[in-house]
Each structure stands twice: as C-alpha cells, then as structure tokens.
Structure 1
Amino acid sequence: MIDEPSVLDYFKSLLTFWRSPPIKIPGEDIEVDSELIDSYDDQRERHYDEVLGGDDEILEIKPHTQLENGEIRDSQQFPWRAILSLILALAAQFSLEPGPERTWITGSILYIIAAVFLVWAYIRGEFKPAPIPEADHAVEPMSVRTIPLLLGILFSLVAFILFSSNRFTWLNTLLWLTGLTLVVVALWLPASKEGSWYATAWRYLNTQNWNLKISPWTILIIVVGVLALFFRLYRLDQVPPEMISDHAEKLLDVWDVLHSQTSIFFPRNTGREGFQMYLTAGVISLIGTGYTFLSLKIGTVLCGILTLPFIYLLGTEIANRRVGLIAMAFAGIAYWPNIISRIALRFTLYPFFFAPALYFFLRGIRTSNRNYFILAGLFVGIGLHGYSPFRIVPIIFVLAVGLYLLHRQSIGFRKQVILGLLLMGLISLLVFLPLLNYSITNPNNYSYRTLTRVGTIERAYPGSPLLIFLDNLWDAMTMFAWDNGEVWVISVTHRPALDIVSGALFYLGFGLLLIRYIRRRHWLDLFLILSIPLLMLPSILSIAFPAENPSLNRTAAALVPVFLLIGLSLDGFLSGIESHIAAPVGRGLVWVISILLLVWSGYQNYDLAFNQYQKNYTLSSWNTSEIGEAIKDFTVAIGSQENAYVVAFPHWVDTRLVGINAGFPTKDFAIWPEDFQKTAEDQGAKLFIVKIDDSDSMNALQNLYPEGILQHHTSKVPNKDFYQFFVLPE
C-alpha cells in the first residue's frame, strides 16, 4: 500500500509553511515553493535588466520553466492571490482615510484578509521580495599607517581641549579636521591602481572617442528625479507661507554665526546642534537670500533632495535597482518627507545623514571592506551635529551588528565586521569631538530636551511609564495607516502618515519580510523590520508628554526603511506578474500597474502637501509677514524702525518674526501698553500695530494720541485682520 499523505497532513503542511514546503498533491498543477525558485528569479531579473538597459543576455522565459531541482513551474497561472492581497490592502488603507464614517474595524479586517492572501501568494511564488544580494567578502590586509594614526590622534586630543570654549576657532577647527583626515588616511585601504576611482576617471578623460550611452533605465531615473524635484521645489516660497517662533530662533543663531559667534552648540531656546545654522549661513553668503524663511528652506530642501539618491542606492544594496527606483520614486513624491523638508527646521537632517550611513554600513557588512565602515562613521559623526533624535543611531548600528552576529550569515566574517564597527565608532567619535567636549562640560544643557520628554524634569508622568511606552509604541507603528499626530506645523493632523498606495504597500512589504525571515532567517530582513520602531524611539520615548507622539519630525529617519519596504513590496508584486503572465501582456501589465499606482499616490500627495497642509497651516499660523510688510512700508515712506511698534498681546504674533519679515533681523518690535507713554517723547511719525480685538490698548493709544489715524488692515487670511494706528510727526 502506498504511504500517501492524508487531507489533514496536507492542511498541516499549509499551516506550518515555515518548517517545510507544503505537501504536493498528485494531480494538482505543480507549483514550486518560493524558496526553490531563486534561479528562476535570477533569470527574471536579468530579463528585465536587459529590457530596461542592462547588459546581461536576455533569457527567454517559457510558459513552463524547468528548475534545477527538477520541478516545473507554470508561469502562465494567473497570480490572483497576489492581486487580491494588493486590492484588499488598498481597500483597507482607503477605509482608514479621514472621514465622518472612519473606523479602524473595517480596515483591520481587510488588512487581516490581505495578510492571509499575502502568505498564500508567497507560498505559491506569486508575491515575494527580491532576493538579497550575495555577500562578497574580501580578504583585507590588517595594515595601518602608524605615523599618520598617531599624529591624527594627537591633533584630535589637542583640538578636543581647545573646544572647551564652545566655539569653533581657526586653530581648533584646523587641528580637528587635520587630525580626522590623518586618522582616515591611516586606516583607509587603498584600491589597486587599476581599480581606483581616479585611475578610472583618468582613463575616461583620455579616451579619444567618448561613447555616452543613455539607456531606458537612465531615462527612468531622470524621469523619477524630475518628478521628485517638482514635488520638493514647487511653490517653495509659498508652502508653508509663514514662519513660527522656532524659525526666529534659527535665524538669530544664523545671525550670530555670520557675526563671528561660531558656536558648537547653540544654547538659545534649550539648545540645538549647529549644522543647520552653518548650512543656512552658507546659503545666505552664496545666494544672497538674506535672513529669510526662504534661506532656511533652501538648505533643508536641498538635504531632503540629496537623501533620495541614497534611498535608491539602499534599494540596490538590499535587493536590486528596481526596488531602489520604486523606493526613491515614492519617497520623492510623499507628503511626509516633503513637509519635514519644507518646514525648514532640522527635522530632515535625521534621514539625510541616516540614509548614507546605513548604505555604507550595510555595504561594509556585505563586503567586509573597512572603507565603507569609515564612510559610515563619517556620516554618523556629522549626523550627531544635526538633529537631536539622531543620537539613537549609533545604538541602532551596534544592535544591528549584534543581530548580524547571531545569524548564520556572519559565520566566518565576525571578526571583520566587529573590527569594522570599531573603526566606524572611532571615526564617528572624532567627527563628534566638538560636541563631545560640550556634552561633558555642559551635560544638563546638552541633554535637556531629551530629559524633559523621557524624564520628569518639566512634569510628572501622566500614568504608568511602561503603559505609556507601550501605547506610544502602538501609536507610532500604526501612524502609517491611522494617525500621524496633532502637530499642524509638520503634518495634516490626525490622518495617516502615508497615502493610500504607499500605506498599503508598506504593510504588505512589512508582511513579506516577516514571512521571509521566518522561512530563511536572514539577519537583514529582521533588521529592516526592527529598524523602524528603533528609529522612532525619539518619539516613542516621549513618556512625560505622550500627546507629542507620534510626530513626523522625531520619527523622520524611519522613512528610509519604510520606503525601502514599499519598494520591496511593489517589486515583489510586479515580479509575480512577470513570472506568471507571459510577455508582452505581463510586461505591459507591469507598466500599467506601476504607472497607475504612482499617479494615484502622486495625486493624493499633491493634495496633501499643496492643498490640505497649505490651507491648515495658513489658518493656524499668524500672518507676521503681512505685519512685517506694513512696518517695512512705513519705514520706507515716513518713519523709522525705532518708531514702529507691535502692541504685545498674549498668544498673538512673535514680534521677532515681524522684525525679520520687515528686514530688521535683530529688531523686536514688541511694546507693552504700560510703555505707551514713553513713546510721546519722540516727535517723529509713529506706527502701532494692534490686534483687532485688543480694545484696551486701542483706547489707550487714542487717549494718548487723539490726532492719531486708525486704519483697519484686512488680511488675506480670515480672522487675521489687525489695526494700524498712525501718529503723524509734530
């Protein structure tokens, strides 16, 4: 009697798919398990690389493909499971959009069903992430240039001592940069003369006949780049329209920098790292845009744009170039990274430095090339001069190495990776040196912002810290689909952080990596999953102020792995279409689906950034630019800045912003009603700006200056009118 599996055995094999492939029932259409088709995926990948401009030979994929293990895959079977999982995920995310009938129940049920079909599609090979590139470890000499290393450490120690004044000077900066350069030179592993970048560039420049080839893939990259530039630069001077108090603090710090107060850590307003101040000072010096909102925007938007190529490179590093292109495209048009760049505060510096640091770190692990660890260390060190939440990044990289060492992929290469991590730590420490001195000599100032959120410096915990942490973790992990917080400055409040398409693809990508990790136990899958909550810890750890979580600024670096998962998800879906539907229909369907999803995502993100966010921001912020313009007109026509005043009123305009908008960056135009009498001593023309409902101040001015002229200024924004009270010269 033949020992055949029972129906119960078959269903058990389906439910325990992580242990072994499902039992094959004789007579059914033979379907290879997703773990057995890596060779097929290689063929498919080479196929579309050639179609999009690659140099590999085209592989003709037949309807039935014979795999190395002898099993046959029916590539003509319609991938309905994968398609259904995507449709259900899109429907789930659509149901979670803000509206009067919004409920999490419908979306949760649809997402659960989508997850079931995702698992099924993965088992059937219809929906799986692109294979992780093979490790390419090199055997490196342990050589170090001793003299440059010792000199570099000596110069760095002297610079560290000289940084105690919290000032960059010509001497300490020169010693610091010289020491850093010497240490990098001492540790850098030179490439062969034939393979070095400068040798390649020299050969290229000396070529008599240049052959510039623009492939279809190059055109795709250009199109995606132009699309991203449109979303990031369109109406930059108008979106957002007004500054808030934080911008005043920044521009005053920039003023200090350009007037020789070159601080390492800027203590104004509880303290800030200095990278943005020096970046904006450079923008003002080079472009001449002055102490304006636009100067701040130019610097941060440039950082946001330069993050995108590293998202592309990360996609190629963890999968393939199509994953990188998809991730870059969706990140380029997304409202989340767009807004945190446009708001012109330090928020975009978090992903800006994390993306290249992660790229070189992962490349260093895959190749065991210490040069990549050195480059990663440089970006980690500079990132620590950017935005406070970046302080979590060194811890994340240490945890990543620990995760790597626990997995079988590290066998035989653990020493190299540990050494690489140590080199990375050394370089980042040397770059961090100025702030290290400040953090030691002024620990309270340096850590104050963090301690007020994690600890009880400003207020007691509103409940159990553990329960608050768990609630914050849940809120942060669901912000992509449900609620991205209540801060109107950086978000369309109380809506998902991602658009419908990106949200659906993100959660499918999250599920795909989780399934693949259960099956294959690759450290990179688990790291990409865990990196998201780890990068959001600066927001999650707001235990004393849980209402501040989630926030799109303190979670900003998480957008890097989030959009990588989006790229992996859509690439896995398109791969299923390509491998199960014969060309040209399958290829055409891939293009149609890709374009439709990107257009849908782009349309919604355009509305979020340039309509909803713009409208809400305009209504929520004060019109200091209009008041500044009124004062500027007054000073040009008949008066002077010394005789222009904004009558202070609680919870109204920041009068420093009025000065900045009027063209007087260091002038605070505030005056309190009790000081009105002092203005009578001046015989010149005077202008008083008064809040429309401040009747007491208005009456006091009219009593003091009965000949004054009152004008009602109608604002372009509803409920933002103000009075202009003119006093003519005597």
Structure 2
Amino acid sequence: MQNESSLLEALKLRGFPWRPLAALVLALTAQLMLEPPAREWISIALYIAAICFVVWSFLRGEWALARMAEDIYHGDTETLRFKSFFSVASWFRGSKQILFFLSLLLLGAAFYFFRGNQFTVLNLSLWLAGLALFVFGLWDNRHQFGRLKSSLQKMDWEWLALLLAVFAFAAFFRFYRLNEVLAEPFSDHAEKLLDVYDISNGNTSIFFIRNTGREGLQMYWTFLVATLFGTGISFLSLKLGTALIGVFTLPFVYLLGKEFGNPVVGFFAMFLFGISYWMNVIARIGLRFPLYPLFAAGTLLFLTRGLRTASRNDFLLCGLLLGLGLHGYTPFRIMPFVVLTAFTIFVLHNNSKAIRAQALQWLTIVAVTALMVFLPLLRYWMEYPEVFGLRAFSRLDSAGTFGSLAGVFFSNLLNALLMFNVDDGNIWVNSLPHRPALDVVTGAFFVIGLVLLILRYLRQRDWRDLFLLVLIPLLLMPSVLSLAYPEENPALNRAGGAAVAAILVSAMAVEGLVVGTVRGAESGQGPEKRRGFIPYILVGILLAAASFQNYDLVLRQFDRYFRIGAWNSSEMGRSIRFFGDVYGRMDTAWIVPYEQWVDTRLPALWMGLPNRDFALWPDQFASTLTLPAPKMFIFNLQDLDTKNALKQLYPNGTLSRYTSATTGKDYMIFFVEE
C-alpha cells in the first residue's frame, strides 16, 4: 500500500506528464489492435478512453497544439488600403502596365493556337512568354531583397542540418531498392510508356487519349527523366520520375507544417511524410499518383499563407501550382473546390467588410492565374469535352436512383474516413489491402490531433483549424465519388492528397506532446523540471518504431504481396532476350495471350521496346509455319489448347516448363529448333 501511495504521489507531480502519456499509451494500444490480422474492436473503447485523457490534458494545458502565426492584418484592419482588382493602374506603374496587357495578348494567341491537341513551338512559346509576363506584371517585389537578407541572417544552420538529415532519410525511403520495388509493371505502365514513346517521336499531345485519357505532365516529366538519367523509355524511368516527385513534395510539407504551427511541426510533418508507407508506395508505382499530394501540398501552402499575410505573391504562386496540378493527376480536379472552401471559411470568420472585399480580389488572382496555366487543357476540353471528362465521370456514372446513390456516397465517405486507421481498401496494385493507411504511431497521433483541433477550434474559432478539419474529407472526395465502382473506394492513389492533411494533423499532435509537456515540466523545480526529457525520449523511440514499421510495410510486405499478385513479365522478357542473344533474332519469339494473364506488351519494356507487343493469338499459329526456325512460344501453364495445337503444328518441338522465382508464376516454353 505504501508503494502504491508513493506512486500516486509521484504521478501527481506537476512536471510528470501522466495524463498525456496515458492518452498516448491508450491510443497506441488501440491502433496496434487494429493492425491485421488482429482487428480487435475493443480498440474502439481504448480510443474513447484515450480521447477522454486528451480532453483532460487539453483542459489542464498539458497537451496543446502549437500556436499558429497570427494574421498580419487582424490587429489593425483600418490601415489597410483596398484596391479594385480591375483597377490595374493601382497595381502597375509605367512599363509594368504594358507588360501585363501584353501578357493577355500572348495568352489569348496561345489559346487560339492550342487547337488540335498539340503543343507546338509557336503555341508553347506564346503560352510560356505570356505566363512569365503575367506573373511579372502582378508580382509585388517590394522589400523582397530585404526579406531574403533578413531570412539568411536569422538562419539556424544547425536546424538546417537537421532538416537536411531528415530529407536525406526520407529520400532513402523513396529510392532504396527502387529497381526491385515495384517489382513488375502492369498494363497502365505499358500505356504510359507508349505515350512517352509518342513524345520521343514528336507527337507532343496536350491530353493523351490512350486508356480513357490522361493529362500529360507525367509523360513529359518521364521523357525528361529518361533523357537526363539515361534510363531510356523504361519502367525504371517511370519509377524514378515518380520517386523524385515524392521527394519534391517534402519541402512543401515542411513549410505547410510551419504555416499551421512552427518549424518543429514542419520537422515532424516532413519526417512522418517521408517514412509513410502510403506515400512511399504511391511514389514507387511509376504512375501519376504522387502528383496529387505534391501539388495539393504546394497549393495549400501558398493559399493559407496568402490568407494569413495578405500577400499577392502567395496568391500568384497558389494559382500557378493550382493550374499546373490540373495538368497532373485527375483527382487533383477537386482542388479548385478546396480553394473555394478555404476562402468561404476565411470570409465567414471575418466580420470586416473590407477584409471580405479583399478576399474576393485574392480569389480572383488565384482563379485567373490558375486559368492561364490551365489554358492548353481548357482548349482541349472545349474541343473534346466527352474525352476530357471520361476518366473522372466514368467513376460517377451510375444507373442508381438518387436515394441509392446517396447511400453509396455516405457509405463510401465512411469507408474513406476509416482508411487512415482501419482499412485502406482492396486495390492490391498500390496498397497492402485491408490494413490502415497510416502506421501505428502516425495513426494514433492522427486521432489525438483531430481531437485537439476540434477542442482548439471550439475555444479560439480560428478559421484554419476548421479548414484543416474540413480539408480531410474534401481531399478524399476523388476516392469517395467512385459511385459506379464503390469497391474501388478507398483507394490510396485517388485519396493521396488527404495524406498531406492527415500527416500534418499527426505532426501537430506530436509537437504538442513534446512542447506542451516540456513546458509543464519546466515550470516546476528540481525533479519536476528534470522530467522534461521524457517526451523527447518517448517521441524519439516512437519515430524509430514508425520508421521500422514503414520500412517493413513497403520493402518487405508490399514487395512480397505485389509479386504474388503481379505477373512475372520481367522473367518472360529475360527468356526472350536470351533467345535473341543466342540466335540473333527476336521476331520469332511470341507470347500466347491467355485470360487474366500477363499483358503481352510488358516483357518488351524490360528490353527497352515500348512499342513492341509479343502477342500471337492461337488463330495465327499457322502463319508461323512459313517463318524460319528457331521459334519460341511462351504460354500459360493452364493453356492446354495452345499446348496441343503447337504439338500438332510442330511435332518435333520441345516443351519445357520455366520455374519462376515467385511461387505460382511458372510458364511453358515451346521451342522449335528446325
């Protein structure tokens, strides 16, 4: 009894963060019990208990989120000078007015010449020159040099070194064993490389219509990567390009963390984003998926900073990234609605008519700038509206009644909201099916962060807290709106933008644990003050554990699971290459298509032949009789009809079984030597 009494007394010390730690232990335990295959639903009760301790900690001031930077105009709105957006003279002086109007002429001419779904030297030059003059004409360059000089003088070089170390650690997660994970391409990769191949042959499309249509940014980026790194039009070029995109997202995530908190929040956000299983998988796929979080993070950064600082330059940058993102991955089309939502929430939280009027001007800057960047696709959309919207609307199109569609929508929304902590869906090509999208540590802090955000909003009514809460379901909408195919929801790829917001919330909670409990400990004396090191040690251990789990999820579990599901086109490519090396030809090597088997274009990708298809259909077998030997036919293990037909056609042929490195992926080789 005496020992228990002593323990209770110790816990009551002001410096010991027992309430936050109790909340964290409960949340971590709850999240751990949601890991497959356990799925213990007692985790709900544990999460409820954790939330109670979070609320208690918040009310006691022991766990609070970092204070966001104050809006620079809230304290002195009367000194603002509001000007009409259409009063160009109020913004430009002298030559800038001429350059601005010249930009509009150039952009108008570019729009006219964007006809025919082709980039040309003429329309591209007009567009880029017009954009440059447009931005220069609106850019506010007052005090820019002074601000840069001040920032450099205040630079904490030790902090910068720490950030670079985290950046390098995240880059390791993006690039390590990239040639092996993702192991095999699938049909979408063949389609992508055919588009890149078209570019190499001078077909510079604005919108690529192959496979229901795609925006072209990744194709041009892959062509650039293939040229710069000498990787050719290959599967590796696709993966290298998207992994680089995943790395480019990290600075935006860090700066966004600073905007919603402080540099420490940015540090934790970049770390968690860098190691994230979710973000690393979609960055390694080699498809357009990471373009959504990249441009979502950048757009959100300049949007929120612009609304805080009333900076015209930030709104210009927001518009540029918003427009460029629309050239990336189709789910990014939700972002204009996100921007509009942000302005709406901002305006509703301000009673000043002057600020509301200014907000309308800011929104106009964002919208017009984005429209200027979007011009090539706008022209294509006007010429081919059915093709442009086919990919997105194919998920929305459903024959159900309004009531049934509403039911599917809310069911999809619930499933999407549960993806962070419970179930990320069943799409095996870009996820580990039916596990949480977040790791145990990030998932636990995500729930805690949501509770803290709600509590702080109820207390302070800061528009940014509400926006961040609303942002998560908004960024999930590209997945949620798969009404025609609800089994495709949730999808890590189409919900990728939501990872930015979710991980930011987690990082805010981590910072609140460290800084809040340390602040409470430092307010004590002696033993109480010395206990301030506990959160640092605990968070360090948790980040290490999260790193190990995410490494295992991506480089072991996902790799193994994907290899089981994917067809071994690389091994078929090696078989054909060996045939070519030995006999000096590959035109008499074929793959016989079979239902639910390998895409016969994929083996050619491993040989740098994106435009080659090795398919030979059974009704074409007889045509091979006139061709000189040797000949090689690869076919499915279960395809007995092909086996019998080839034996009948070539009685002296040799049949062998190729043993794959992956169980269940063996295939047959029929060889004709004479």
Q: What is the TM-score normalised by the length of structure 1? A: 0.85
2:22 to 75, 84, 89: 84
Indicate if the aligned counterparts of 2:514 and 2:536 stay in contact, CA closer than 8 A.
Answer: no
**Offset, 1:612:** 1.0
Query: Which amino acid is 1:591 matched to?
Result: Y
Shift >6 Å, 4+ stretches: 211-214
2:612 equivalent to 1:661: no
Q: What is the match of residue 647 of structure 1?
A: 592
Indicate if the aligned counterparts of 2:475 and 2:497 stay in contact, CA closer than 8 A.
Answer: yes
1:548 to 488, 502, 506: 488
Q: How does 1:185-200 map onto structure 2 within 5 Å?
A: 185-192=136-143, 194-195=145-146, 197=148
Q: What is the match of residue 104 of structure 2?
A: 153
Query: Which amino acid is 1:661 matched to?
Result: W
1:143 to 81, 88, 91: 91
2:387 equivalent to 1:445: yes
Indicate if the aligned counterparts of 2:468 and 2:501 stay in contact, CA closer than 8 A.
Answer: yes
Deviations 1:511-553 (A, max 9, x none): 1001111111110000001000001101111111111111001
Task: Return the alpha-carbon distance in structure 1 between the equivalents of residues 55 and 167 of structure 2.
Answer: 34
**Offset, 1:75:** 8.8
Q: What is the match of residue 531 of structure 1?
A: 471
Query: Which amino acid is 2:146 matched to?
Result: G
2:50 equivalent to 1:102: no
Task: Evaluate the alpha carbon distance shift between residue 355 and residue 409 of structure 1 in structure 2; reply closer, same or farther with a 3 A threshold.
Answer: farther
Q: Which has the higher contact order (CA 8 A, sep 6+)?
A: 2
Query: Which amino acid is 1:314 matched to?
Result: L
Task: Return the alpha-carbon distance in structure 1 between the equivalents of residues 283 and 126 of structure 2.
Answer: 33
Query: Which amino acid is 2:343 matched to?
Result: V
Task: Return the alpha-carbon distance in structure 2 between the equivalents of residues 410 and 617 of structure 1.
Answer: 55
- Return 76-85 or 619-628, whichever deviates more: 76-85
Query: Which amino acid is 2:91 matched to?
Result: S
Q: What is the match of residue 638 of structure 1?
A: 583
Query: Which amino acid is 1:156 matched to?
Result: L
**Offset, 1:579:** 1.8
Q: What is the match of residue 488 of structure 1?
A: 428
Task: Return the alpha-carbon distance in structure 1 between the equivalents of residues 228 and 401 of structure 2.
Answer: 47
Q: What is the match of residue 503 of structure 2?
A: 563
1:689 to 634, 642, 664: 634
Q: What is the match of residue 727 of structure 1?
A: 672
Secondary structure at the aligned position of 1:690 is classed as strand
Task: Return the alpha-carbon distance in structure 1 between the equivalents of residues 515 and 13 of structure 2.
Answer: 11
Task: Return the alpha-carbon distance in structure 1 between the equivalents of residues 204 and 164 of structure 2.
Answer: 39
Task: Return the alpha-carbon distance in structure 1 between the equivalents of residues 640 and 578 of structure 2.
Answer: 25
Deviations 1:178-209 (A, max 9, x none): 11111111111122375265x789xx9xxxxx
Indicate if the aligned counterparts of 1:280 and 1:296 stay in contact, CA closer than 8 A.
Answer: yes
Task: Return the alpha-carbon distance in structure 2 between the equivalents of residues 505 and 453 of structure 1.
Answer: 33
Query: Which amino acid is 1:722 matched to?
Result: Y
**Offset, 1:488:** 0.5
Q: What is the match of residue 588 of structure 1?
A: 533
Task: Return the alpha-carbon distance in structure 1 between the equivalents of residues 13 and 107 of structure 2.
Answer: 61
Deviations 1:449-499 (A, max 9, x none): 11111123xx65797111111111111111111100000111110011011
Task: Evaluate the alpha carbon distance shift between residue 689 and residue 276 of structure 1 in structure 2; reply closer, same or farther with a 3 A threshold.
Answer: same
Task: Evaluate the alpha carbon distance shift between residue 227 and residue 461 of structure 1 in structure 2; reply closer, same or farther with a 3 A threshold.
Answer: farther
2:235 equivalent to 1:297: no
Q: What is the TM-score normalised by the length of structure 2? A: 0.92
Q: What is the match of residue 34 of structure 1?
A: none
Task: Return the alpha-carbon distance in structure 1 between the equivalents of residues 352 and 434 of structure 2.
Answer: 43
1:628 to 557, 568, 573: 573
Secondary structure at the aligned position of 1:645 is classed as strand
- Return 461-470 or 523-532, whichever deviates more: 461-470
1:475 to 415, 419, 440: 415
Secondary structure at the aligned position of 1:712 is classed as strand
Indicate if the aligned counterparts of 2:518 and 2:533 stay in contact, CA closer than 8 A.
Answer: no
Indicate if the aligned counterparts of 1:249 and 1:268 stay in contact, CA closer than 8 A.
Answer: yes
Task: Return the alpha-carbon distance in structure 2 between the equivalents of residues 213 and 364 of structure 1.
Answer: 22
Structure 1 unpaired stretches of 5+: 1-73, 205-210
The percentage of aligned residue pairs carrying the same residue is 44
Indicate if the aligned counterparts of 2:15 and 2:529 stay in contact, CA closer than 8 A.
Answer: no
Indicate if the aligned counterparts of 1:254 and 1:277 stay in contact, CA closer than 8 A.
Answer: yes
2:253 equivalent to 1:311: yes
Deviations 1:611-666 (A, max 9, x none): 11111000000000100111111112115222111011111110011122233221
Secondary structure at the aligned position of 2:146 is classed as coil
Task: Return the alpha-carbon distance in structure 2 between the equivalents of residues 335 and 272 of structure 1.
Answer: 26
Q: What is the match of residue 373 of structure 1?
A: 315
Task: Return the alpha-carbon distance in structure 2 between the equivalents of residues 710 and 288 of structure 1.
Answer: 38
Q: What is the match of residue 54 of structure 2?
A: 118
Task: Return the alpha-carbon distance in structure 2 between the equivalents of residues 558 and 410 of structure 1.
Answer: 32
Task: Return the alpha-carbon distance in structure 2 between the equivalents of residues 548 and 722 of structure 1.
Answer: 30
Secondary structure at the aligned position of 2:657 is classed as strand
Deviations 1:97-124 (A, max 9, x none): 112x4233x1111111111111111010
Q: How does 1:572-611 map onto structure 2 within 5 Å?
A: 572-582=512-522, 585-611=530-556
2:296 equivalent to 1:348: no
Indicate if the aligned counterparts of 1:166 and 1:263 stay in contact, CA closer than 8 A.
Answer: yes
Task: Return the alpha-carbon distance in structure 2 between the equivalents of residues 552 and 619 of structure 1.
Answer: 20
Task: Return the alpha-carbon distance in structure 2 between the equivalents of residues 319 and 590 of structure 1.
Answer: 18
Query: Which amino acid is 1:464 matched to?
Result: S
Indicate if the aligned counterparts of 1:461 and 1:543 stay in contact, CA closer than 8 A.
Answer: no
**Offset, 1:577:** 1.7
